[in-house]
Structure 1
Amino acid sequence: MHLISIKLAGFKSFVEPTTVELDPDVSVVVGPNGCGKSNILEAVRWVIGESSAHQLRGEVNSDFIFSGTESRAAASRASVELLFDNSDGKLGGDYASYAELSVRRDVQTEGQSTYFLNGQRCRRKDILDVFLGTGFGTRGYSIIRQNWVSQLVNSDPETLREHLEEAAGVSRYRARRHETLNKLNLTNQNLEQVKLRQADLAKELRQLKAQAGRARRSEALTKQLHAQKARLIDSKLRIKNDHRDGISTELNVIEMQVAKIDTSLQSLNDEAEQFEALLASQRSEQQSTAETRIQAQTLVNSTTHEIEQLQNLRDVAQATIDSKLNQLDDEIKLLDTDAADLVDLQKSYVRTTAQLGELLDRKGVADHDLGLVSLEFDKARAQKEQSAEQLQQFSKQRDSLESQQRVDEANLESLSGLMDSVTSTLPVLSDIEASVGESERKAQSSEHTLKALETELTSITATINLKLKTQASLGEELENSRNRGQDLREQRLSIKILQDSSLGQTELTDEVKHWLSNANLKPGLRIGELLDVEQGWESAVEIVLGSHIQGIATNDLKQHIQDVANLHASDVELVAVGQNSSDESRESDLTPLASRLLGDSRALAPLFKGIYTCETLEEATRLRVTLDRAESVVTADNVWVGKHFIKVFRSSQGAQGVIERQRQEEELAEEISAIEQAMTTQQADLVRIKTDIEESEKSREALRERIAVATTQFTQDRTSLSHYRQQLAQNRNEIEIQQKQRVNREGEVVRLTQSIETAKKSLQGLASEHAAAQRDFDQGTTREAVLESEVEAKQQAFSALAEQVRTVENEQNELALKISFLERSQARQEELVSRLLAELRTLIEQDADAESRLPELTQRQLTNQASLTQFEEELSVLLDELRETERQVGRVRDGQTELTNEKNQLMKSETDQKTQLAGLAVEISQLMAERRELTVDPDLENEQVEENTDVAAIECEIESLTTKLSQLGLINYRATTELEERTTEKELLDAQIQDLAEAVAKLQQGIEKIDQESKRSLRSTFDDVNRNFGRLFRYLFGGGAAGLEFTDADIIQAGVIVRARPPGKNNVTINLLSDGERAMTAIAFVFALFELNPSPVCILDEVDAPFDERNVEKFTELLAKMSVETQFVVITHNPATMELAGNLLGITMEEPGVSRLVAVNLEDAFAMAANQ
């Protein structure tokens, strides 16, 4: 048997369907680290039933599905399939006849695994059973992953024993033993249960025998009881029928009286209709007269209003006329004043015109004289300017030479200063460089401080945001709690209102409240509020209590009996509580309704005397025949059954009762209290978090202020540093330029000295020419001054005349403006006077028209007032007649009311009689139904009930028979049948116990046989493996010794430990060996197991990694020998191991995250391994 191929699809990095074809002897898998080689080993472990995802470097099964990369989407499922060649039939059991065996496992993204054997779905246990005992399994020694080989020999003794059992094939026995032990335990449990049932049946048989005897006695008594009950019912039927006939006679009398009253009512109704018709006619006439009066009143009011309007109009017009006349007088006066002013202004204008002509003539003469003098002044000024120009030229030449001399001297001095400044700048440059270093240190310190503060600000801001979120969350929780509390309070209030209404709390009159107060009774302490009832019996208790549930509780009823006389117009019910009372009516196993009361409500037990409970209507019907007249039974589904009645309460089924509402109100109160406590805690948390936020905000603001200060300081330091750096660079540039210019300007100093000497000589020649020009200029200045004085005199005279002309012209213009303004104002006033006159004429005409209409309106007002008085008199007469008719109608209505009340009393009496009649009919019907239900002996059926039959004697007889039946207790009428059934069942159980005891003995024998076979096989395997292990250890180490030891004398339960002694060392445990020695020891142990029970397939994952070259050679030699019996799949980087390969498989991961199978050249593989 060997593994043909491994098919992977979507498993870990093998996203694409990949088939790994394997050599029957040795297949070697190579590839770089991280390319997915170990995924092949994990795929094999996974498909053969590995259940722990941690063993395969995962968390859950869905982790084995390809999770996707940047260029590939994630897969939705993973599948691995192993194909085995079983032509040698090594796999036993059901699959021994199969030449090939396919094992597959699939997993979806939901994490659910599915197993398949040869394409058929199966369980994980089926997969494990196939490879059980072959060494090829999830916990076997045939799949050795990285680092596991050295861990193997370090395993605990129990794990080593499991490997030994797998090699010995004992694991099959152990599985069989485990199954047999489970069956044995299950059989023992079944045997114990059957024995318990047998004991129970023995008790039941004893009880059933006693019950069968009571059932026979009960049957005889029941027949006698039914006969007496039939006689009693027949007597009651006769009495009820007589009572019914009497009520029918009374009903006939009442009907005749009602008919007589109806006749009288009809007569009164006819009379009432006549008066109603007359009343309607009178009301119609009165309404018509009232409407006519209203119309007349309207006319009077309208005329009065019109007269008042005319009078008001005249008053307004007269006032307006007076106002307009006054305004007209003012305007005429103003017009006369403006006319006089206009005449005066025209005279002034003529006078200023003559004065202006004379001044213009004088101004012309002065202008001519000023022109002659100005010509002479201009000639003198021209001569002076010519002399001044010559003088200016000489001065410019002198100034130019002096200026050039000064410039040359300044340049000479500047050059000397520049050459001196180059030397003086060097010390300043050193100071600036020192300042730059100091500024850099300050800027770095400021920047560090600023960053630290900003980091602290970020931290505080994050804390504040977190607290704000917490505050919002707490606020939302508080709001939810508040809303929930409000909802619960509203719900409790609605339940409270409904409860108070049901208990009559809202119906108490003032009289009742006063009476209760005087009696020292609490109005709110109702019976319904005291009730606490067993679950499921609330409706039954409320049905029985009826209106008593609204009663007011009292501890002493006698105390309040005398006070009842004080109540005159109110209803009230008092109920005694707390008084001990025992139900002595019967002694039976019936459950009293009072026993369903809980806690303090047991004080209400007297209200339920003689009332019992049962679960179903069938049981109540059966118990009814045993009840006394004062006894009854109520069921949990609202049916109340008595001796002579049955009441069904289904209309309110499903609705809340008083007790349930009381219980719900208490639960709501508790929930409201819990919510209020939670709200208190939440509010405290909110206050605390708010305080924390405020403190954090203060800290943040303080920190921001510090950051602002630090930012300012940092900016200043940076600015200062930049300034010093610029100054340093500028000084360095200036020094370089000055040093270059110093050389060039040394020649310039010589040239400037020569130029200064030449300028001094030229200035001496210009001095004599400048003196002659100065004399000519002084003479011209003197003549110009004389002529300038004369021009100024002429100019002043001319200016004075021109000013007089301007003054007269301004005065003339001002007069012209005033004249124009007065003319326009006079025109406006004349127009206003004309308009006022027209308005006065209109107002006078309106006033005359209003005065002419007043007499006509006054006459009309008198006529309308007379009509109104007449209509009011007619209306008063009609009202008197209407009142008289209404009195007649009231008299008739009173008669109708009196007859109607009498009729209602008769009808009420008739209704009461009919109610009694209906009640009798129901009672008769119930009696007849009870009579039909009775099973009476045919010999007693034909006996007639005499009229003088003693009902009391019959009832005494029935009570005697009922007592005898009740003394028998509950009767099981199926006792005889059940006795036969239980006897048969006991016989079957006796046979079953015997069979189970035999099965237990056989299972115990099987376990002992399995233990013997396991011990024999395990001992033989232990010896063989120990021998092989020592031999292989000496081969690999070149000497030394190694062996296995049991930890206990009982080898079935004992563990296994490994002892090893490499050459030159003492006998030590594995933990004291080096890593290489442990790996070699583990290989020796594994191959010792293989020699005894070769696994069909062995997968080794880099087990040769710790070996040196010599040990690798030994390792490969062992592999070559053992490959005859076992197929090896080796994952390695070692070239020596690769040489064994009959099939060399390469794994690559050129695409990130995706493994592929590639063809491998052996030489390339060796080179790859060497590079690794």
Structure 2
Amino acid sequence: MDFNRIRLTGFKSFVDGTDFDIMEGLTGIVGPNGCGKSNLLEALRWVMGETSYKSMRGSAMEDVIFSGTTGRPSRNHAEVSLFLDNSKRTASAEFNDNDELEIVRRIERDAGSAYRINGRDVRARDVQLLFADASTGARSNSLVRQGQIGELISAKPETRRRILEEAAGISGLHSRRHEAELRLRAASNNLEKLDEVLAQLESQLRSLKRQARQAGRYKEISGQIRAAEALTLYLRWQQTTTRLTQIEGELKEAQSAVISTNTAVAAAASASTNAQTILPTLREEEATAAAALRRLTLERDAMDNEKRQAEDMLMRLGEQAKTIAADKERETEVVRDSDQQLAHLAGEEVVAQASISEEEEQAEAEAAKKLEIEEAQLAQADEAFDTANREHAEYHARINALRRGLSGNDEQEVRLVEELATLETTRTDIKTARGQDLDLAARQATLTELQAEMEAAFTKHETQHKNYAEARKTHDEAQAPAHEKRSTLSRLIGERDALSGLFAKENEDGQSYVPVLSQVSVQNGYEVALGAALGDDLEAALDKSAPAYWDAAMPSDSPSALPDNIESLADYVSGVDALHRRLQQIGVVADRAQGVALCKRLSVGQRLVSKQGDLWRWDGYCRLAEAETNTTRRLAQKRRLELLTTDITTAQSETEAAEAQLEKARTALEAARNAAEAAQQGLQAAQQNVDTARQDLSQAETGAAKLNALEASFARVEKDLQATREAQAAMRHDLQKLETTGDGATALEEKRVIVQKARDGVAEAHSELQNWRTRREARDTQLQRIKQEQQSWTARHSAATQQLETLAARAIETQTEVEKFNDVPRLVEEKKIQIADIITQAAEKRAAAGDALAVAETTLADLSTAEKQAQSHLAEAREAQVRLEATQEAESERMTESAQRIRDVLQIEPEAALALSEHERGEPFPDVEELESKLENYRRERETLGGVNLQADNEAEEIATQIETMKVERDDLASAINKLRHGIGQLNREGRQRLLAAYESVNKHFEVLFTRMFGGGTARLELTESDDPLEAGLEIIAHPPGKRPQHMSLLSGGEQALTAVAMIFAVFLTNPSPICVLDEVDAPLDDSNVDRFCALLRDITEQTGTRFLVITHHALTMARMDRLFGVTMQERGVSQLLSVNLATAEQFAEVGVHENEAETPATLSAS
């Protein structure tokens, strides 16, 4: 079966549906770390039936379901589908009818996994067996995960043996053998227990026989008890049956009474129903008559309301007319009063105007002038007083200010004296402590000298460092060629040793003859032709005592000419004359076409070969160069061994020269390093001296700055103290002068008296002027009042006149309304007389309908009373019936209980209990109480027997049968134990044979692959720790080129990885699989080893047809793939798949190059 395609949906980071084509050849899978490459391998293992969630890198199997990201929700299921090509019909029989197989595994949260093959549900075991038959599976060595190489390297020999077990197909041998041994041990224990059980059963059988005799007496008494119980129970059942029959008769009579009473109730209910049927009609007629009467009554009441409203309206209109007349009279009076008041106000205005005179106006003007004079005198007096008052206040303020200033200056003088003393003490201390340290010039000179020394040391350091860098570069440049030469020499020596070892095996097992292959000399390039022509015949010797030999004494006839006189192989091979006759009949053609053309013209015994290894024989046998033989390969190896001697000599010379150059560079590097280190130490010492000098200079500068600051502070304080003392003397002089002058309090009092007199004169003039102004303002107020009253009465006169006109119009409207409502009461009275007769008739009709309704309701009440009485009789009859039914039910239950007790105790029907009691027919029945007393005696007698095993007879018979059966089983178990022991031995023998066969095959492949991967060297597998292969460990002995044989754990990291890869592929070649997945296997390998690794993959692909999936980060591995698939994670947490076919890309690239070359001249021409 071939793997074609795998589809992932919701599996780990592949949330979207992703198809991955598994094509022939080498397929690379690339991508950054963490993008989900290994998820493809895990998906393949998972769909093959992997059951361990730890192998899936999860804490539970549901962890394979996409768990969601910040931008996408989680999924509830995951599904992986694998498509297989079954056109060769190599699948199991049940699935072998289809050209393509689709294996699907689906998992849902909280639901587990489900498997389907071509849409049919199957078990996980079916899927695992399907892939196991195809030499693959979830745990196959062909699926190499990350870390598996390291596990193989660090594994113990016993653990490493499992690789051979898998190659031999006996992976489960240990578990199955252990299980078989456990079964054997359990069977032996069971046999011992069976013997013990047989002894116990025989003892138990003897005891049961004694118990059987006692059980006989117990059964006899039990039979008597059963007969008495049967008769007692039968009599009680018969009594309940008789009482039940009597009650059933009484119940029938009660049921008849209920029926008759129920008939009477039905008749009463029918009459009541008929009466109720008439009532709605009568009620409707009564309601209709009442409604008509009510309507007429309401109409009459509406007429009364209309009349009353008309009378009320006439009354309101009369009152309104009276109001209008009163208003007209009032407004007329207002007009008359207005005329009188206006005439009176005109007279008052004339009198007021006449009272105004020129003398009053002149007196008011003189009073105003006098007030102005008095106010001017007051202003002058106030100004003089303010000036004197201000001078007095300034005097006292200055006195106080001088006194406060003297007090503050005294305090400041004391403070400045103390500060001056403190500064003097500090300055003295600093000068005493520093002494000569304050010499800044000397320190600056010292620092300059040290800085110059540091610059020189720095220049020297730079020079030595540059020299060291150049020496380092020279050393590195010499180291690479030396390493390359050593590697080349080691590889050549390893290859020579490996080839020498192969040829040395020819003399093993006591063989003393030498094959002609070791003696023949072949021109370069014709080794393949010689091997193809002679094949295994070159293994023969010249010694006639050998099993196969060449006889040089054979007569040499004239050979037949070769076709077209082509050259014979004898022209290119020498060293063994015995082969000359054979070689003359072998022609050498230039190419395959010439060989095909000439092969038909060969004579008997003749052959044609090409330098590439093609062979045509005279009898029609042909073998192309692709079918390489061991002899051809050994000839090439022999030629290679001869060339290796010269190559090794040349390589040794070149290696020695490179080593000498490297040693020279190493010596120069060491000297440069020492000089650089000395310069570095000198620079550090100079830097330390400069730092110390800078620190000293900084300290000196700090002390000098502090001393200068103290000197400045001392001068400032002295200056402030002198100024303070001078200010004190000036303030004392000013204070003494002010105290002598006086404050001018007497002059201030005189000016205050003058101001008071001026104020009194102003007040008197102001009072006189105010009197004249008051008289003038009163007269002006009177005139203003007169004008306002004239305007008011004029407005009232106009308003009254206008109101009279309005009242006249309203009087006309009122008269019109009165005429309108005068006839309404008379018309309403006429309508009331007409409707009175109609109301009387309606009242009579309603009374008749009410009487009929009352008679019907009385009749209905009587019928209802009769119905209730009938219902009461019916209830009593039913109560009696129910009471009898309850009694019947109780008796029936007693009878049922008696019958059920008979069934429970006697296991028979009640009718058969009499027969069981052994009572004679026709005999009178005994009293029940006597029977119960007799039954009690029987029971006491049975109890005196104690515990009795009633099943003793049956148990004894069963135990006897069981003893016979167990004896037969004991014999069968002993036979099975013997067979199981024989089967374990057979299983061990077959396992050893298969393991040893697999060991030989894997060891053979491993030796070849190791030599190929290392470019030489040898390796082998050894079974250690036990003589039994099934218990032995597997040790790997490796002999890399140029090294001694050693265990795998002693190799370098790269050598361990190469050895492990060779081991894995050796197992793979022993039992090839249709698919192989390698997850970052090339990670620890360098470029040259990766190249060998990729070449090996290519050869295995061509040899076995296996499809390889290689997960890698190595650029060289990517380049050697047939196609690449890229796994990206552009969206965080979501993997996507991209593909590139490298072969197609190369074709496109070549086409593009040719097109560019063709277009270049045209482009240049156009430009």
**What is the TM-score of this pair, normalised by structure 2?**
0.37
**What is the TM-score of this pair, normalised by structure 1?**
0.37
